[in-house]
Structure 1
Amino acid sequence: MPKFSRNYLSAVIAACLLASSGGVYAAPPPPPSPSSTSSSPNATPTVPYASDDPNYPLWNPDSNIVPQPMRGTFGANILGPQNIPLELQNPSLLAPPTTDHGDVPNAHWSFTLSHNRLQTGGWVREQTVTDMPIAKEMAGVNMRLEAGAIRELHWHKTAEWAYVLNGSTQITTVTPEGQNYIGTVHPGDLWYFPAGQPHSLQATADSPEGSEFLLIFDDGTASSEDTFLLTDWLAHVPKEVLAKNFQTKQSAFNKIPDRELYIFPGTPPADDAQPPVSPQGISSLPFTYEFSKIKPANYSGGTLKIADSTTFKASKSIAVAEVTVEPGAMRELHWHPIQDEWAYFIEGYARMTLFAADSNARTFDYQAGDIAYVPAPYGHYIENVGNTTLRFLEIFKTEKYQDVSLSQWLALTPPELVKEHLQVSDETVGKFQKQKQLVVGPQ
């Protein structure tokens, strides 16, 4: 009886196991000739080849169908009740790609599912680790202020970073050194306040509808409810103590609120508003950044631009990449070495697969208003599966933006070593790029 290599026998056993469980596989090549004495590496894979089965999304939110959990010969139709609108939004949950495997925690949340706090002058809704347990490093808040409305003077135990979605907002702050600062931020611009630094937010009248913005806190447990508010504090200090502190009459505080204001109407600030003159001066470190005016880098499939502490000096704990992806293109396969990613989708439809090591992979679908979370150093991509431009933010708890490109890694690794792993040709290896592609176009 001829002697076959251990690799060949392993491949045959694995193929038989797959066949017995209904799996699809490519049969291993014929065994080597018994007379062969070649000492060259055996080309037979130690496991079956990966399946060529297509794994495209089977529908999208605009499809006029009743979706079913079926892909090829797998699955069966639903006999019970269905939430069709939700199932149309999540094809990769109901009929996942066959490449999904194992267990990856939920990495999808929508602000639509968050409780909304309604105030006179605006509203606020949030996502914390309570909503998405995987999101341990950062939490998000979506806030809306009518023109002139004020998010009252306050501070947090975490840093606050913001991206303006619509309208304009005037921010004020005072540093621990007594320097003050006023700035106005417009759509696509940023602001940042370190932990514990007092500040306020007020929608301008630049837009008659006021403003809306995204807030990020650098702690997954942080909540907009856990805020140190001016009115809340003073309502819980005896008035005689207030009089002594400010060296005035107790009657001066007869009309202070007996509870927090949080968000309340106000007169829109003047366009040329200036801070009071401080003996310590105005902060030399801007707490706003005109990110909207930064020209993005162009790639074959879209654009990308970055703001971190190297450009937005004040932002010591949050970095961001704003990405656009054209239809059929994708944010390349990559990972972030030590930083979790909190992503927010502004427009378009996206699909993302998280690879969590040990054969664990799971695919999620996203649309405008959705949040994704990718723990470090999970491998992932973000693909535009719609027919319009996809735009989203990648946000990180870090001073400096970092990522590792799969294509660049392989292109800068000895090619023979890569071919041994992937059983690919020289031509294929030659297509791996030594420069990060970041956003790659459709084929």
Structure 2
Amino acid sequence: MSTGSPYWVSLTEAEAAFQSDLGSIQIVDGQNLPILSRLSIKRVVLAPGAIREPQWNVNANQLAYVVSGEVLVSLLASGGEFASFVVGEGQMYHVESGAVYHIENLGSADAVIIIALRNERPQHFSLRDSLSAMTNPVLGNTYDLPSTAFAAFQRAPAEQIFARRGSITIDPTQKLPNARLFDVQGQHAPLSYAYGSANLARKQFWAALDDISMYSLQIKEDGMREPHWHPVTAEMGYVAKGRARMRVLAPDVTLGEYELGPGDVYFVPRAYPHHIEVLDEEGFHFLIFFDQPTPGDVGYRATATAFSREVLAGTFGISERELPQFPFTPQDPLIVARHNPVGATE
């Protein structure tokens, strides 16, 4: 697994936790990126006709984004609440911790899903392992059947991904809106500029989110994510497309600078200043996950408006005359135009 900084690692180059002709599962968690806190990430690839076995998370809500393909998600939550819905490319789904769910590829090409989990060391149970833990008499009593009804059940470990054995029929109701489904790329971007946009999957727009959220950030060659920090929010990003440079400042004033490409994952602890800059002509697309349902930030641009010129001049040890004419900014724009070339220092 390639790495160039304690802040990032490649998810697509991570050793597969599971791999077969039917698909793969790759994970970046606190074990292979120790700086992670309250967040981790998985990449699940399902071949046509493949099914991710029913399972549930023990200690983490999850937020998933379908990068490519179309999948069926079915789940059962506490209180007998059942849901089954189709998720397409650019859409998201949410599964709360403890709800048992499955993912099934409906298309003729691979389905790729990026899943953020609200714990740096997530754990899960599979439905197969949980039933295998019980004896045939116990299972018979549970389902009001003779114990011999379960004689064919194998007690081998769960397969994680297996093949569909028959055809599948989608009920029209499975394509209806659902509280756990969110069309983030179909959203009219709340933040949109000529040089970039941000679609926001947060509680303001998706009521199901309690402790996690996501920004789909797309910035063109002439844009930049301004330097900023999140006072109470950690940030974990996945590079869906493009290349970018990132800088992060730690409290001991050490500076981390690194380049990110497709498939990379980065993490910025809460309140660490950082910024993101495009490195090539195609721009970039980041999926940025937060450990809060409504993330907030403080940007450098508005910070220059918050203090008097006398205070700013004293802070930087120059005269007021030498101080730049900062634009009046009562609210940070999140994305700014990039008038200066990459790597410019003057």
**2-side partners of 1:232 and 1:359: how far apart?**
48
Partner of residue 162 from structure 1, selected from 57, 64, 77 = 64
| 1:379, distance to aligned residue in structure 2 (A) | 0.1
Q: From the superposition, tell whether residues 107 and 186 of structure 1 become closer, same or farther in structure 2 (CA, over 3 Å).
A: same
**2-side partners of 1:268 and 1:325: how far apart?**
41
After superposition, what is the alpha-carbon deviation per residue over 1:28-69, rounded to whole angstroms, capped at 9, x for unaligned? xxxxxxxxxxxxxxxxxxxxxxxxxxxxxxxxxxxxxxxxxx
2:51 aligns with 150
2:113 aligns with 213
Name the amino acid aligned to 1:221: R
Aligned pairs (5 A) from 1:92-103: none
Q: Which runs of 4+ in 1 moved over 4 A?
A: 424-427
1:32 aligns with none
**1-side partners of 2:22 and 2:152: how far apart?**
21
**2-side partners of 1:358 and 1:145: how far apart?**
43
Partner of residue 438 from structure 1, selected from 314, 334, 338 = 334
Q: From the superposition, tell whether residues 359 and 210 of structure 1 become closer, same or farther in structure 2 (CA, over 3 Å).
A: closer
After superposition, what is the alpha-carbon deviation per residue over 1:1-30, rounded to whole angstroms, capped at 9, x for unaligned? xxxxxxxxxxxxxxxxxxxxxxxxxxxxxx
Residue 209 of structure 2 is aligned to residue 318 of structure 1: no
Contact map agreement 1:162 1:216 (CA 8 A) in 2: yes
Q: Which moved more, 1:127-136 or 1:258-267?
A: 258-267
**1-side partners of 2:198 and 2:323: how far apart?**
29
| 1:140, distance to aligned residue in structure 2 (A) | 0.7
Q: Which moved more, 1:366-375 or 1:396-405?
A: 396-405
Contact map agreement 2:198 2:215 (CA 8 A) in 1: yes
Name the amino acid aligned to 2:47: E
SS in 2 for 1:398: coil
Gaps of 5+ in 2: 340-346
1:200 aligns with 102
Contact map agreement 1:299 1:437 (CA 8 A) in 2: no
After superposition, what is the alpha-carbon deviation per residue over 1:123-175, rounded to whole angstroms, capped at 9, x for unaligned? 11111111111112211100011223111111111112101110011111122
1:128 aligns with 29
Contact map agreement 1:419 1:429 (CA 8 A) in 2: no
Contact map agreement 1:108 1:132 (CA 8 A) in 2: yes
Q: Which moved more, 1:166-175 or 1:114-123?
A: 114-123
Q: From the superposition, tell whether residues 286 and 406 of structure 1 become closer, same or farther in structure 2 (CA, over 3 Å).
A: same
Name the amino acid aligned to 2:118: D
SS in 2 for 1:337: coil
| 1:328, distance to aligned residue in structure 2 (A) | 4.3
Residue 284 of structure 2 is aligned to residue 387 of structure 1: no
SS in 1 for 2:185: helix
**1-side partners of 2:252 and 2:117: how far apart?**
31
Partner of residue 160 from structure 2, selected from 259, 262, 265 = 262
Contact map agreement 2:74 2:101 (CA 8 A) in 1: yes
**TM-score normalised according to structure 2 size:** 0.89
**2-side partners of 1:209 and 1:199: how far apart?**
22
Residue 187 of structure 2 is aligned to residue 294 of structure 1: yes
**1-side partners of 2:160 and 2:326: how far apart?**
58
| 1:386, distance to aligned residue in structure 2 (A) | 1.3
Gaps of 5+ in 1: 1-85, 94-104, 276-283
**1-side partners of 2:194 and 2:335: how far apart?**
7
Contact map agreement 1:171 1:183 (CA 8 A) in 2: yes
Aligned pair count?
330
> Cα RMSD between the aligned structures?
2.2
1:305 aligns with 199
Contact map agreement 2:304 2:326 (CA 8 A) in 1: no
After superposition, what is the alpha-carbon deviation per residue over 1:316-367, rounded to whole angstroms, capped at 9, x for unaligned? 1211111111114310010011111101111111111101123211101100
**2-side partners of 1:413 and 1:111: how far apart?**
41
**1-side partners of 2:50 and 2:335: how far apart?**
39
| 1:272, distance to aligned residue in structure 2 (A) | 2.1
Partner of residue 182 from structure 1, selected from 81, 84, 96 = 84
Q: Which moved more, 1:415-424 or 1:141-150?
A: 415-424
Contact map agreement 1:146 1:203 (CA 8 A) in 2: yes
Contact map agreement 2:66 2:88 (CA 8 A) in 1: yes
Identity, % of aligned positions: 21
After superposition, what is the alpha-carbon deviation per residue over 1:300-322, rounded to whole angstroms, capped at 9, x for unaligned? 53111211122111121211111
**2-side partners of 1:146 and 1:387: how far apart?**
32
Q: From the superposition, tell whether residues 268 and 402 of structure 1 become closer, same or farther in structure 2 (CA, over 3 Å).
A: farther
**TM-score normalised according to structure 1 size:** 0.70
After superposition, what is the alpha-carbon deviation per residue over 1:193-219, rounded to whole angstroms, capped at 9, x for unaligned? 1111111111112xx114110011111
Greater fraction of residues in strand = 2
2:74 aligns with 172
Contact map agreement 2:21 2:47 (CA 8 A) in 1: no
Name the amino acid aligned to 2:163: P
